[in-house]
Structure 1
Amino acid sequence: MRFATYIHDGSAHESAVRAGVVAEGTVHPLPQGTTVLDLVRAGLPAAIGAGAAALDGPAVPLDEVRLLPPLDPPTVRDFVAFEEHVEGVVESVGDGAGVVPEWYEAPTFYFTNPYALVGAHDDVPVPPGSQLFDFELEVAAVVGRDAESPAPEDVEIFGYTILNDWSARDLQRREMKVGLGPAKGKDSATTLGPWLVTADELEPYRDAEGFLALDMRVAVNGVEIGQDLLSDMGWPFEELVAYAGRGTRVRAGDVLGSGTCGNGGCLAELWGRRGTQDPPPLRPGDVVEMTVEGIGTIRNTVVAGLDLPPVRPARARPRTRKRPS
């Protein structure tokens, strides 16, 4: 089943936002006030029951609605689970080449901005001050049940959606030289969409090792840039969720990104491999389209961002140990 969050009448008022079930080019609204996060927290059986009831009701053509991010998650963690991506991107964003030994020891993630989520077809502004804007093709899993230090076999995943982790590579590179981050290099926008596909729908794609063998593709202005399989991840999603909850907790509705796939899943990987900015950084007017087998397609247009004054550098470093008398 596919759950979406959308606006039909074009109003920005909160009451105009609805959740619904997507089927055959239409969306069937759920009862007013019901959110996709409510369904996730209710559990998959209850959600599918609510969705089935909605399918008996009225429908709205998908081309008449604006798709919002499918849910409003409590947290968004983004992993880096594709070895091939790391091989290429460290040469353009990091220092040196190759995958550090620590990558193989355990999954790595950072928390990104849940307030910067955008919908499947929304415009995406270039972050202030960035000249090296990039996309990242990912799949995200949505946690289906609260858990503390869960074992991978006890993890419940409600469903999956496409994630585009938009990245300002020049800002990211500066931040990570400090040994912390990424921060402003990553938090301007993250696309989630077009909807949330329940986990049961994607089980036919699961391979013998427990990975989902979904085809992933990204194109810029109609030209394909990258293609990979989700099953090329170093860890399956159940292990990523278990690691996220290790020594702490995860909650139903938390979003966990796979990290960027390899073979052109982002521009920075190709820049690192080729030693030149080919293809070039994204510019206003560029259209980025991502398609993941079994889930759907998101398509965002890059637009000009805010023109803000430069960030003030740190003051001269004082060494005063006592207040003036």
Structure 2
Amino acid sequence: MRIARVEVGGRAFWALLEDETHRLRPINAPFAHWAGLTGAQALDALDLGPERLPRSAARLLPPLEPGGRVFGVGLNYPHLQRLGSTVPAHPLAYMKPESALVGANDEIHYPPLTTQLDYEVELVAVIGRPLLDEPRASHCLLGYTVGNDISARDAGKQIGRLDLLTQKAMDRTTPVGPWIVTPDELGVRGQPMLNMQLTVNDELRQQDNTRQMIFPLDELLNYLDARITLRPGDLVFTGSSHGVGLETGRFLQPGDRVDAQISGVGRLRNTIAAPRALSGARAKGRLGQPLA
């Protein structure tokens, strides 16, 4: 199944994307009734409405259930050695606010606190049910979607420390979508092995396969769940590969078109917006400015 979070006429809801017609059928059942099910059971539990909407009639939203959390993982592909890092003893994780997310075709904000805006195509796992005592954590997933973990690479340089709040969490900087694809639809059981790539203005910048993860998906999910119990609807970004701007010095600029795609899952098509200016009062929070 392909399940999208959409907005039509100001109303947000989940919908099933029908492969044969490419139309959207609204899902009437609450998310909790079907997110943890698989196959025919899940389809029966959706309580689909009779209406079929053309995709063009809906805005694709980030596929995040209201109340869901967003987790990220860094240093999870071999390119970290090109960046002067060694393989960590365990995953490096962080959280994003919901306000950091944008949809598959939305503009990406260019924050006023950076001049080094970078791209990172990533496979995103969507939690379907609590992990509890399930021996294979990935069996608890609803499915997968595509993420672009846009990063402010110059965050923290002035204090000589990692500043993940500025680097990863700024408003409307993280595209995710276009929908969730269930594991049975992908033919995935356990660790995904999916091709992913990213282009900027049609120039290929990143290309790899999710089999190259240093910490495989089950290990990432177990690591997170041991610290913060994962809940249905949570998103987990699983890390990105080589070719990022941090390696080449070629960062994103206003007006750039960024396409991120993962085979069998979908594609994000986003444009970088013009830089946003801070108000005078908020400029006190700018990097390098006094806070008092």
TM-score, length-scaled by structure 1 = 0.77
- The answer to whether the 8 Å contact 2:64/2:234 transfers is no
Show the counterpart of 2:18: 23
Show the counterpart of 1:128: 112
| Larger Rg over CA atoms | 1
Cα pair distance change 1:174/1:214, threshold 3 Å: farther
Show the counterpart of 2:259: 289
1:225-240 aligned within 5 A: 225-240=205-220
Q: Does 1:184 align with 2:158?
A: no
CA apart distance, 1:251: 1.4
Show the counterpart of 1:111: 95
1:1-325 aligned within 5 A: 1-8=1-8, 11=9, 13=10, 16-24=11-19, 25-31=22-28, 34=29, 36=31, 39-40=34-35, 42-44=36-38, 46-51=41-46, 54=48, 57-72=50-65, 74-80=68-74, 82-88=76-82, 90=83, 97=84, 99-101=85-87, 103=88, 105-148=89-132, 151-152=135-136, 156-174=140-158, 177-178=160-161, 180-188=162-170, 189-204=173-188, 210-246=190-226, 248-262=228-242, 264=243, 266-268=244-246, 270-271=247-248, 277=249, 280-308=250-278, 309-311=283-285, 312-313=289-290
SS for the counterpart of 1:212 is: coil
Aligned pairs, how many? 279
- The answer to whether the 8 Å contact 2:138/2:221 transfers is no
- The answer to whether the 8 Å contact 1:18/1:35 transfers is no
Bigger helix fraction: 1
TM-score, length-scaled by structure 2 = 0.86
Structure 2 portions without partners, runs of 5+: none
CA apart distance, 1:157: 1.3
SS for the counterpart of 1:130 is: coil
SS for the counterpart of 2:199 is: strand
Note the aligned Cα RMSD (angstroms): 2.4
Supply the distance in 1 between the matched residues of 2:32 and 2:106 (Cα, whole angstroms). 21
SS for the counterpart of 1:213 is: coil
- The answer to whether the 8 Å contact 2:7/2:58 transfers is yes
Please tell me the residue identity of whatever aligns with 2:86: V
Give the % identical residues: 30
CA apart distance, 1:48: 2.4
Structure 1 portions without partners, runs of 5+: 91-96, 272-276, 316-325
